[in-house]
Amino acid sequence: QVQLVESGGGLVQAGGSLRLSCAASGSRVNINRMGWYRQAPGKQREVVATMTSGGGTSYADSVKGRFTISVDNAKNTVYLQMSSLKPEDTAVYYCNSDIISYPWGQGTQVTVSS
């Protein structure tokens, strides 16, 4: 069974930065095919960034140039570096595979104040 544990969220002022971490465990996990997703209050969960085998990445238009997804294979951990944060980035952030193959974790709350 794959388990995903997100961490690193918090309260930050607009323009600030945060780095989120996602520790993945389980024999089925492919740490090189992962993504970050977010769900704001009253909105559907949306994809933020994905990474595929071979190093390819893609980003939502709203975060391009501000967010970066990366992986540490030795630690089986995926990161989301977020900079120039905006109030509209406020959401619970989750990780999963690039095609949402695993059970969702608890997520980590990111709150950006104006």
Tell me what pLDDT residue 5 has.
98
Residue 32, pLDDT score: 92
Residues 13 and 113: beta-carbon distance below 8 Å: yes
Alpha helices in 53-96 (DSSP H): none
Q: What is the mean pLDDT of residues 14-31?
A: 95
State the number of CA atoms in the 13 A half-sphere of 3 facing the CB: 3
The pLDDT of residue 15 is 98
Summarize the confidence of residues 15-22 as an average pLDDT.
98
**Mean pLDDT, the chain, integer:** 96
pLDDT at res. 27:
87
Strands lying side by side in the sheet with 108-113: 10-13, 108-113, 91-97, 34-39, 46-51, 57-59
Q: What is the pLDDT of residue 54?
A: 83
Paired tokens of 83? 């900079």
Query: Confidence class of residue 76 from pLDDT cuts 50, 70 and 90?
Result: very high
pLDDT digits (tens, 9 = 90+) for 25-69: 998 899 999 999 999 999 999 999 999 988 899 999 999 999 999
pLDDT at 55: 81
pLDDT of 108 strictly over 90: yes
